Amino acid sequence: MDLRTLTYIVVGATFVLYIGIAIWARAGSTKEFYVAGGGVHPVANGMATAADWMSAASFISMAGLIAFMGYGGSVFLMGWTGGFVILAMLLAPYLRKYGKFTVPEFIGDRFYSRKARVVAVICLIICSVTYVIGQMKGVGVAFSRFLEVSYEVGLLIGMVIVFFYAVLGGMKGITYTQIAQYCVLILAYTIPAIFISFNLTGNPLPQLGLGSTLSGTDVFLLDKLDQVVTELGFAEYTTNVRGSTLNMFVYTLSLMIGTAGLPHVIIRFFTVPKVKDARSSAGWALVFITILYTTAPAVAGMARLNLMQTIEPEPGQYLAYDERPQWFKNWEKTGLLGFEDKNGDGLIQYSANAETNEMVKIDNDIMVLANPEIAKLPNWIIALVAAGGLAAALSTAAGLLLAISSAISHDLLKGVFMPNISEKAELNASRIAMAFAIAGAGYLGFNPPGFAAGTVALAFGLAASSIFPALMMGIFSKRVNKEGAIAGMVAGITVTLLYVFQHKGIMFIPGTEFLGGMSPNWFLGIEPNAFGAIGAVINFAVAYGVSNATEAPPQEVQDLVEHIRVPSGVAEAHDH
């Protein structure tokens, strides 16, 4: 069976599964729409959380980034996984104990202010919209190659699929769909990695294969990769860092606290029955995430080596353009791979020198999806990777769109403007808000500001600078009041956005790249995508400063903070 037909069958079967689950798990109440009725098992919730969080950036972009950044790409591995530890220990159990539907609802109640709730909604929408662009780009990239349609048509198909299972099922439908999507994406990620690792090193475990010798030689895979890239003028793969050590540290910190502040991830912990289950499901999510995240460095290194050796099989011996393999032709059609014969010799000369380099475009986002083709794996594996990439992008897009729609319908409409709205009217408003959110996300997907992980990294920075500090202070400080929280959120996200605007141009302008070269004008050498951690420090400082200069929160609010932090059952045991 040819690749195109096989891909249609595999991808089509997964879509039928997702939509079937959405119809089966259709939400009949606002509680089912927002938090799946609050009855999801911790293991199932951990799997759904993993799918929700492992987006197109994790599946499609991260290994591509590491492939070209080398060691410097480890910021994504450390930041995104480390953030889950913070979330499990410091946020998830307390927010679950509070027992509301959304993050802005908690912020509005804790800081006893509708204005604080509205500011939190604005911050949430800015973060989520920035994040969802990356998912839509991932959907377009995957469809454009594997279904052999244009990027725009692929994006439209993805929007329709998300509309059906997100609008119909709400959180209930999304949760069970994401469990299926996790199974698809993890198989799609690990199976090709096992094959490629075995082919290159004889070791079927990619995590071990990365540190093994190449088959039939005593040369280690990473040593060979260092040799190949340095011969072509690129930085050594295993020592290449992104900017200064300070930049690497701040970038990692920004991704960590951004992870802990992402509303669409936090909202997942409102879906479990008990407080204990919130911490348990965070642990399970980390287990499921670890499978992909320990595989990603191997996928990255092996993909880069395969790519380089395909184009230059031996030192100084370049591949003739007319003899380029089929995978090369396929990706050229998408516009994500580009060749220009600068010297007219018909050979593909690939180097770090911009003047002589003829591989004028290699989009980072193609590396994971093209890797099985480059390695000449069977068609069924290539089709499975297509389904996995789409599952990753669609699962996170659905979670983000739910966070956006619930912020509009539950926090703005019911919480501020129409407090007496009926449950049925609120549910309908949620679905209408979801439809508009999908349309808006689609528009931004048609005009993406950069490749997937670029916009995603910025979204984490915005969450780090605005929502994470407000949640931490709301749980662990009795003294921070509404004036401090509002001033802190506004200051944190404003400073971060201004820094991005100054160094990267206006967000959402087509063609704007967020992971460009180093700039001598960066503050202490910190790049815009890493600046969320600095924004968070400013948020904390402003909030505490303003709070100490104004009146303390009411006693009932201070009692609420105390109650949230006391483990369930302790007070009752003490009374006896």
Judge whether residue 246 has pLDDT over 90.
Answer: no
For position 574, what pLDDT does the model report?
A: 42
Give the separation between CA 458 and CA 231, rounded to whole angstroms. Answer: 33
pTM score of the predicted model: 0.79
Predicted confidence (pLDDT) at residue 104 exceeds the cutoff of 90: no
Q: 344 burial class (0-12, 13-18, 19+ CB within 10 angstroms)?
A: exposed
Residue 557's nearest CA partner among 91, 113, 92 is 113
- Reported confidence tier of residue 454, pLDDT bands at 50, 70, 90: low
Would you mind telling me the total number of residues written for the chain in this entry?
Answer: 576
The least confident of 16-20, 58-62, 251-255, 452-456 is 452-456
Is the distance from CB of 301 to CB of 211 less than 8 angstroms? no
pLDDT tens-digit profile of 105-138? Answer: 888 888 988 899 889 888 888 888 777 777 777 7
Instruction: Judge whether 176 and 25 are in contact, CB under 8 Å.
Output: yes
Question: What residue ranges define each of the domains in the chain, with the CATH number in brackets?
Answer: 3-312+368-570 (1.20.1730.10)
Reported confidence tier of residue 171, pLDDT bands at 50, 70, 90: low
- Judged against a pLDDT cut of 90, whether residue 549 lies above it is answered with yes
pLDDT, mean over the chain: 79
Stronger pLDDT, 53 or 573, i.e. the higher one:
53
Q: What is the pLDDT, as a whole number, of residue 462?
A: 87
pLDDT tens across 395-442, in order? 677 777 777 777 777 777 777 777 777 777 877 787 788 788 778 877
Cα angle 24, 177, 20; round to 5: 35
pLDDT at 544: 95
Position 570 scores a pLDDT of 46
How far, in Å, CA of 565 to CA of 576, rounded? 20
The 8-class DSSP code of residue 567 comes to P
Q: Give yes or no for residue 518 having a pLDDT over 60.
A: no
The pLDDT score that the predictor gives to residue 234 is 84
Q: In angstroms, rounded to a whole number, what is the distance separating the alpha carbons of residues 465 and 470?
A: 9
Name all contacts of 494-500 with Cβ < 8 Å and 24+ positions apart. Answer: 495/465, 495/531, 495/534, 495/535, 495/538, 496/461, 496/462, 496/465, 496/466, 496/531, 496/532, 496/534, 496/535, 497/126, 497/462, 499/523, 499/528, 499/531, 499/534, 499/535, 500/458, 500/461, 500/528, 500/531
